[in-house]
Amino acid sequence: MAKMIDVAKLAGVSVATVSRVLMGKGKVREQTRQKVLEAIKQLNYKPNRLARNLRRLESQTVVVVIPDISNPFFTEIVLGIQEIANQHGYHVLLGNTNNDVKREIQFIEMVKEKVADGVILVTVRNPKERFLKLAQEFPIVFACEYIKGAELPMVTIDNVRSAQCVVNYLVNLGHRKIGYIGGPQQVIVSRDRLQGFIQGVIQNDIPFEPAYITEGDFGIQSGIEMATKLLQLPSPPTAIFAANDEMAIGAIKAIKNHGLSVPKDIAIVGFDNITMSTVVEPALTTISQPRRQIGQKAMELLLQLIHNPMLKREHIVLPYELVIRQSCGNPSVWSDS
């Protein structure tokens, strides 16, 4: 593999000059520049990033930590991140934790090893204090999930209000008995959505019924199980709101298994708007997060943080949207005030 010195020799200049034309800064006579460029092309030379990065003490790489690469929800975020990263000549290393709490930290430590310059966390399972300390040391941005009550760079939607919006929508459709299938309570968005659900119920003067609240694990199977549980209640709900689309899809399956119909007997609302929610029948009404945009914003924030560690930590809240399909019947436009 050709090295810089080879280029220098061929062009009859010093390595410093080659470096200058490569970096595009420092004055170089146009004529010399051309000679160097010519030599580079002739040798098919590419600078060794390892060396360059060591010299500059940066790796031009960021790592994105997600809990599950095979979950389509996260891949769309990664796409947004990659878009911005590539625009700025950064590489994206994908960190898959498989929901392993330890690996979350391991990936962050890659910054210490200089494998990466910063981290975007799309999963937050470790205790708050830990992150507060780590965020002090390294450039870290949180996307989708976040830390409550902390001054850290985060990009999310308002999970509380969006869940509340769903309840309003359902009530507006005439529902008074609304079941809820929540996500694992360790996850902050699960807690937020549950809170939003409860607020919605209360604000609509619906009697609070604890039996209507169940907890799944974000998988299809748990949606089936929790919906079944709700269906077996003495007075089953007429609508079910699941904290993500997979569980909502599971709920639809369960309802069909019971010989009931969606939305005629029971309305269903999901959360996240994954592709699968357009395939299921009936197509799922759901909350859509601007995933691509979340990824982009998170990466932009990280870039700023890397180049200016003293940056003010801001929490960016992006707008969500209720996508109305067929799973609540009555397809129509609707806007929460």
Q: Which residues bind DNA (CB under 7 A)?
A: 1, 3-5, 12-17, 19-20, 22-23, 25-29, 31-33, 47-48, 50-52, 54-57
Asked whether the beta carbons of 299 and 62 are under 8 A apart, the reply is: yes
Which partner from the list DNA, a copy of itself, none does 288 bind, CB cut-off 5 to 8 Å by kind? none
Which partner from the list a copy of itself, DNA, none does 22 bind, CB cut-off 5 to 8 Å by kind? DNA
Distance CA 203, CA 199 (A): 6
Asked whether the beta carbons of 141 and 202 are under 8 A apart, the reply is: no
Which partner from the list DNA, a copy of itself, none does 23 bind, CB cut-off 5 to 8 Å by kind? DNA
Q: What are 182's strand-pairing partners?
A: 215
Distance CA 248, CA 251 (A): 5
Which partner from the list DNA, a copy of itself, none does 5 bind, CB cut-off 5 to 8 Å by kind? DNA
Query: For 210, which DSSP code?
Result: G
Which partner from the list DNA, a copy of itself, none does 79 bind, CB cut-off 5 to 8 Å by kind? a copy of itself
Which partner from the list DNA, a copy of itself, none does 202 bind, CB cut-off 5 to 8 Å by kind? none
Site string for a copy of itself, 37-76 (x = CB under 8 A): ---------xxxxxx-xx--x-x---------xx-x--xx
Residue 249 interacting with a copy of itself (CB under 8 A): yes
Peptide bond into 72 cis (omega under 30): no
Q: How many residues does the chain have?
A: 337
Asked whether the beta carbons of 31 and 89 are under 8 A apart, the reply is: no
Residue 37 beta carbon to DNA: minimum distance, rounded to whole angstroms: 12
Residue 20 beta carbon to DNA: minimum distance, rounded to whole angstroms: 6
Q: Which is nearer to a copy of itself, 260 or 317 (CB)?
A: 260
Which residues in the 202-221 window bind a copy of itself by CB under 8 A?
A: 220
b vs e for 127-140, b when ≥16 Cβ sit within 10 Å of the residue's Cβ? eeeebeebbeebbb
Q: What are 316's strand-pairing partners?
A: 155
Q: Which is nearer to a copy of itself, 110 or 178 (CB)?
A: 110
Which partner from the list a copy of itself, DNA, none does 119 bind, CB cut-off 5 to 8 Å by kind? none
Residue 5 beta carbon to DNA: minimum distance, rounded to whole angstroms: 6
Residue 244 corresponds to which tokens in the numbers above?
A: 């993500």
Residue 115 interacting with a copy of itself (CB under 8 A): yes
The secondary element (H helix, E strand) that includes residue 91 is strand 91-96
SS3 312: coil
Within 8 A by CB and 6+ apart from 237, the residues are 175, 177, 178, 179, 212, 230, 266
Phi and psi angles of residue 210, each rounded to the nearest 5 degrees, phi first: -55, -30
Q: Which is nearer to DNA, 27 or 264 (CB)?
A: 27
Q: Which is nearer to a copy of itself, 95 or 182 (CB)?
A: 95
Residue 129 corresponds to which tokens in the numbers above?
A: 């204090």
Distance CA 331, CA 166 (A): 14
Which residues in the 77-106 window bind a copy of itself by CB under 8 A?
A: 78-79, 82, 91-94, 96
Contact residues for a copy of itself (CB under 8 A)? 1, 46-51, 53-54, 57, 59, 69-70, 72, 75-76, 78-79, 82, 91-94, 96, 109-110, 112-115, 220, 249, 275-276, 279-281
